[in-house]
Amino acid sequence: MKKVLFATLIIFSAGCANEKQTGKFSVTGEIKNAPAQKIYLEQLYFSDKNPEILDTAEIKDGKFELSAIAVEEGLFRLRLEKNERGYLFINDQPKIMFNANIADSSMEGPVFNSSANDRFKKLMLTVSEKSRSMSAISGELNQLKTTNGNDSLQNIRAAELNGLQKQFTDFIIKYVDTSTDPVVTMFALGYTQGAEPGALKSIIPGLEKRFPKHQGIASIVLQYNQYVAKQNQSQPRQGATPANGDLAPDFTMNDVNGKPVSLSSFKGKYVLVDFWASWCGPCRGENPSVVAAYNKFKDKNFTILGVSLDENKDEWIKAIKADNLSWTQVSDLKGWSCAAVPLYGFDGIPYNVLVDPEGKIIASVLRGSDLENKLNEVLK
């Protein structure tokens, strides 16, 4: 486990358990402009267990109703048969109303009418807004570097970016330390990759006191304690993270059929190098967005190279099929000892870099709608 990977993974914990039992719950919804098709209610899990379909319904005139039984509060997803869109929600009420428009791909559009889902949506909108601000300055800074722009202006933009990154980390740390909903709190923990270990040390133990009967929180604390114990052992130094404008480090690994594939073989195309694993809950949760982006842009000189941090080949292949990942997938099946990890210097997944046709990195950590927005920008 690397740095705060445990926090990223626990988002989709099988526990994801609230202090109250919820029993049976239902989702009654309307998705405007959605053609007749099946809609699935899925529960998302931590570990190597695939998302589980709990109920299936037919969308008729845009309307549907689904129900399931959950012992405790957790994180769920609505998934459409003919569209890769996925709608995440929390089952904090026995009856949840849902409204969306299939033509609206923004985060603002879909609405689940419950207090936990209101908080969840507000968090995601805030994170998205802050990410866009950082991405804009990062893009400007990258442009200045590639055109040998004014050094003083580069320094100003770099300072602005560092300031925004610190503000974002401070916001997430404060959010985790004050949030009143356990599942939303766990989701927020997935954005703490940039936090100093000392900051996490001050808030992780307190979660168990705030949610004393919450199994998911208890699991976080347990994993954190295990992480601290591992950190006390000697570990190899992580490599430096390549910046925008740098050439993407080349590597060669075998695909699912044992055939060696190199990143450099994709030169001439825009390539999203997507680091993930079958056991990574947040990765599996991101996959529908990645699939949607691939299907939309695959005919515009764009492709994806999936790099798995799996160790079990069967689980890796099973996840590829379950999540409909139709692009090239490679892995050396060494987990966190994967040869690409020190080359790219990341310490949590999901992680990705977008590489231009010349082999240069032009963006990284594109999650949710940010991926589609960036591809719309460069694939004109």
Per-residue pLDDT reduced to its tens digit, 39-56: 999 998 655 567 899 999
Q: How far apart are CA 82 and CA 37, in angstroms?
A: 7
CATH of the domain at 304: 3.40.30.10
Q: What CA–CA distances, in Å, run from 61 to 36, 37, 64, 105? A: 7, 10, 9, 20
Nearest to 112 by CA among 167, 160, 61, 75: 75
Is 111 inside any structural domain? Answer: yes
Is 243 inside any structural domain? Answer: no
pLDDT range class, residue 93, cuts 50, 70, 90: very high
pLDDT at 230: 57
- Whether the per-residue pLDDT at 8 is higher than 60: the answer is no
pLDDT at 248: 93
| Final residue of a structural domain among 235, 264, 297 | 235
Q: How far apart are CA 79 and CA 56, in angstroms?
A: 10
Q: How far apart are CA 372 and CA 135, in angstroms?
A: 13
Specify whether the CB–CB gap between 17 and 214 falls below 8 A. Answer: yes
Say how many domains are in the chain: 2
| Final residue of a structural domain among 210, 235, 260 | 235
pLDDT at 134: 84
Place of tokens 């009856």: 95
Do 130 and 185 have their domain in common? Answer: yes
pLDDT at 5: 37
Read off the pLDDT of each residue in 220-236 and give the average, rounded to a whole number: 61
Displacement of CA 55 from its chain's centroid (Å):
24
pLDDT range class, residue 212, cuts 50, 70, 90: confident
Which is higher by pLDDT, 69 or 228? 69
Do 217 and 325 have their domain in common? Answer: no
Q: What angle do CA 66, 128, 159 make, to 5 degrees?
A: 165
Mean predicted lDDT score pLDDT of the chain: 84
Strand pairing category for 21-32 and 95-101 = parallel
Is 240 inside any structural domain? Answer: no
Do 152 and 225 have their domain in common? Answer: yes
Do 195 and 53 have their domain in common? Answer: yes
Do 203 and 266 have their domain in common? Answer: no
Which is higher by pLDDT, 299 or 166? 299
Is 209 inside any structural domain? Answer: yes
What is the residue range of 147's domain? 1-235
Burial class of residue 230 (count of CB atoms within 10 Å of its CB; 0-12, 13-18, 19+): exposed
Question: Phi and psi of 55, rounded to 5°?
Answer: -160, 155
In three-state secondary structure terms, 277 is coil
pLDDT at 227: 65
Do 276 and 222 have their domain in common? Answer: no
pLDDT at 280: 84
The amino acid that residue 81 corresponds to is E
Specify whether the CB–CB gap between 336 and 97 falls below 8 A. Answer: no
pLDDT at 20: 43
Do 138 and 261 have their domain in common? Answer: no
Specify whether the CB–CB gap between 96 and 68 falls below 8 A. Answer: no
- Whether the per-residue pLDDT at 171 is higher than 70: the answer is yes
Do 74 and 212 have their domain in common? Answer: yes
Is 247 inside any structural domain? Answer: no
Q: How far apart are CA 260 and CA 253, in angstroms?
A: 5
Do 173 and 55 have their domain in common? Answer: yes
- Whether the per-residue pLDDT at 14 is higher than 50: the answer is no
Q: How far apart are CA 243 and CA 240, in angstroms?
A: 9
Is 42 inside any structural domain? Answer: yes
| Final residue of a structural domain among 235, 264, 288 | 235
- Whether the per-residue pLDDT at 12 is higher than 70: the answer is no
Displacement of CA 256 from its chain's centroid (Å):
23
Specify whether the CB–CB gap between 66 and 41 falls below 8 A. Answer: yes
89 contacts: CB under 8 Å, gap ≥ 6: 27, 75, 76, 77, 78, 96, 98, 112, 114, 117, 120
How confident is the model over 337-366, as pLDDT tens digits?
Answer: 999 999 998 888 889 999 999 999 999 999
**Entry pTM:** 0.58
Specify whether the CB–CB gap between 188 and 178 falls below 8 A. Answer: no
Read off the pLDDT of each residue in 139-159 and give the average, rounded to a whole number: 77
In Å, the largest CA–CA distance within the chain is 61
How confident is the model over 234-278, as pLDDT tens digits?
Answer: 344 455 678 888 999 999 999 999 999 999 999 999 999 999 998
Peptide bond before 51: cis, by omega within 30 degrees of 0? no
Do 141 and 287 have their domain in common? Answer: no
Is 244 inside any structural domain? Answer: no
Do 227 and 347 have their domain in common? Answer: no
Do 184 and 137 have their domain in common? Answer: yes
What percent of the chain has pLDDT above 90?
Answer: 47
What percent of the chain has pLDDT above 70?
Answer: 87
Is 245 inside any structural domain? Answer: no
